[in-house]
Structure 1
């Protein structure tokens, strides 16, 4: 064993893993907590559905755009510095989110949260890749993946309890003590790894990718509310998306030809077929998860009338199961490889979502969703460790930061596109389904109110009030009390019927994406049992600069 490799073993990699997972846990906890608080945010901040989409996506967009850059900076200055800096920014921004007084302020602070999260996240995978020997990486990735399960349990349940008993602001305040603990622990146990190879930052690449992704996601989020037409003067939503796609294509071309010396995305990494496939699979899984939670959260609270805590407990079985399955799947992947384990995991996740869609209907009990959530939980738990093991198996440690940033970027881009696409499709379906439901129920109203009732629901999708305990419509001032009572009752029926039907159609989109991802896993090259890991000796490139 080389001297640098001997130095590397002076710290306990499992303690380092705990510190990394605690910071990663905080990032994921924030995402799931915000999802369960959607109706409370709508009520507390007087936010409409389009505002809520931006509250969710502003964070994810900034997070996704900067992950590759943060991975590169971690290679340059060391992952410990970036990890701790990200913790400080994210924790401070979380406190600021808790003090927001309107949707605009919350969106701005969510952007800052995304910046901090982007600095932190790529360092977790790159450090795990560098400090764990190949034969133990699967177990480490399994624990890392099970953190996602813990966070998805803690998010809805803890978030539901906080929202129900203390208000939505505490879903952000709770990050402060977690962030402080993670920061202290990282300062004590994390080695200050430095790579022998220096990296340069591709500033034009950062600018191009940031602008391109912003335009594309902005168009997806705002498209339905502007009827896919004009936004500013003659500029339309379609033109904005088209410009974003063109800029993204230019960015990818410049990265491919490596005109800037050292590109933001080293395309040589994609020569490994497994890494390329796993980028698509991780994007699809994130697409499915984010696509599922937005409609389902609104359905549980605004249609079924559950509290935030009850909604969190309803989805908790999926997260609990995935949390316990992930470490087992990691150890199994170490022994036999993860190809077929991942194939069945992604397939089960898609199948569980299909069962959930098939079982959802108006007037149902929340327990009827349990079979689909259980199946999805088993599938989700079987994806975390095999995916990371397959993706990072052939990556050289000197490229770990770039690879980690890239796969986390595709993960978050999948979430951005999934949340935006599902949100856009949901709004489009609501325009149709609410109008149909309103027309079917308008006969119960006096004739003079029928036309306004129907047109109001047809135009309500983007500006729909989905706050907890809302009646979906606002009765005009001066409406007779008896008519107002009937309007509210029928309006609730129309909202419940229209939203349920819209959700059932919308959720087939993430299910289809997941099914395609499962099929792509068949193309993965299996590891040969008698082939040593090429990276085993290259770990010596990672030299602890200090402790």
Structure 2
């Protein structure tokens, strides 16, 4: 099938509907943060328990479901899975508003986590299939900017909603956005998918890779649990997670219908783009968790000032992501990613002398440059990896990419806990070690950029 016939140009309205739907995942994950104390008081539940169930539990369910959701969308149909995810969001919102106790709140968050896992890979797959190669960079740049804006606006929007309407309103804050998304997708429908290879869900379940899903879930869950532990127990759980991860890779290599096809990583653009996303998320999430610790402990800084400092990095990402997409379409993914990596290296390199910063304001230029670099890199990495996958594996490729994105963040939190520890006497030196580790990760991602397509994505492999 020619590229012109397969890559049907979507309308601006339907693209906006897809982006708005996918934004609910990061918005939902950060929106609830400021409402947790109010929820704890409202239902007379322990704040630590509420945080573990509604935040950590959400993350665990979402990460576990991303891979299987991508595979299912390849078989059942991406549009069907997208609409299923939107429906689950609404059901989850209803449970949250009506909840009288912890159980229903947890169920609400689980439904929302599954919904996000369904919507994001389906959105990426639909963009891959229906956007012409010469425009994918720009569209994936908008995708990255949309996700960054949603994550950054979540706490601000959540705080306003709780102040005006109470904590229950947080669970329906997504509904207006979902309604607009659904209206756009209904009014401007997506191009029809090829249904020749699609099967009903009841038939899919007979051949679904439940062993692979189980091993992946076990490995990721153990990693997240390990981030909450210390000492010998921490090392034991990390080792168990590694064993489960190795078993998962070996199983996927031999099973006939894997949830994650290892052969995808034999495609240089896919492997490079996916690892760039993981490595740079390792650095980004590390900075988001490390810098507040440093400035609150060693500079006794107000949380508001720390929030503004981190917001500068997010703003850099938001502005640079669309530009990274345009550069990808014009000069190729390799050059765009290398340019972003240089900016990111320059920004993080300025943080090597972290002990010299007397306030968060001093670190803002470095974080702005880091955010610009992250934004520039996202579109070429995402576009190249998704373009490398065959059309029939677009959902699986999106699931792998999304899982690797979260894996980078999870590993960052684990390493941060290992390096910083609780010893305040040498923590400043250990903070510098973490910055050096982030620099190494970014340097590796820059090397990975060399395996991205050198020409414009318009000339890259297309269906």
TM-score normalized with structure 1 length: 0.71
CA apart distance, 1:145: 1.7
* Contact 1:36 1:312 survives alignment (8 Å): no
1:152–1:348 distance in 2 versus 1, CA, 3 Å: farther
* Contact 1:300 1:306 survives alignment (8 Å): no
Match in the other structure for 2:21: 23
Q: Report 1:23-102 matches (<5 A).
A: 23-34=21-32, 46-48=46-48, 52=51, 55-94=54-93, 96=95
Kindly indicate whether residue 279 of structure 2 is the aligned counterpart of residue 256 of structure 1.
no
**What is the count of residue pairs matched by the alignment?**
451
* Contact 2:135 2:458 survives alignment (8 Å): no
1:336–1:184 distance in 2 versus 1, CA, 3 Å: same
Instruction: Return the match for 2:410 from 401, 405, 416.
Output: 416
Q: CA RMSD in A?
A: 3.8
* Contact 1:53 1:221 survives alignment (8 Å): no
Match in the other structure for 1:244: 241
- In structure 2, distance between residues paired with 1:163 and 1:409: 31
Highest CA radius of gyration, 1 or 2? 1
1:32–1:295 distance in 2 versus 1, CA, 3 Å: farther
1:254–1:384 distance in 2 versus 1, CA, 3 Å: same
Instruction: Return the match for 2:211 from 197, 204, 209.
Output: 204
Structure 1 unaligned spans of 5+: 230-236, 437-497, 539-547
- Structure with more helix by fraction: 2
Q: Report 1:128-527 matches (<5 A).
A: 128-162=127-161, 171-191=170-190, 192-198=192-198, 200-218=207-225, 220-224=226-230, 227-229=231-233, 237-257=234-254, 259=255, 261-297=256-292, 303-307=300-304, 312-356=307-351, 358-359=353-354, 364-422=358-416, 424-425=417-418, 429=421, 431-433=422-424, 436=425, 501=428, 504-505=431-432, 507-508=434-435, 511-512=438-439, 514-527=441-454
Deviations 1:120-160 (A, max 9, x none): 11011110111111111112112112212322442344345
More displaced, 112-121 or 84-93? 84-93
More displaced, 500-509 or 84-93? 500-509
1:287–1:113 distance in 2 versus 1, CA, 3 Å: farther
* Contact 1:95 1:176 survives alignment (8 Å): no
- In structure 2, distance between residues paired with 1:381 and 1:185: 27
- In structure 1, distance between residues paired with 2:362 and 2:161: 26
* Contact 2:333 2:455 survives alignment (8 Å): no
CA apart distance, 1:337: 0.7
- In structure 2, distance between residues paired with 1:505 and 1:54: 33
- In structure 2, distance between residues paired with 1:190 and 1:207: 35
CA apart distance, 1:35: 5.7
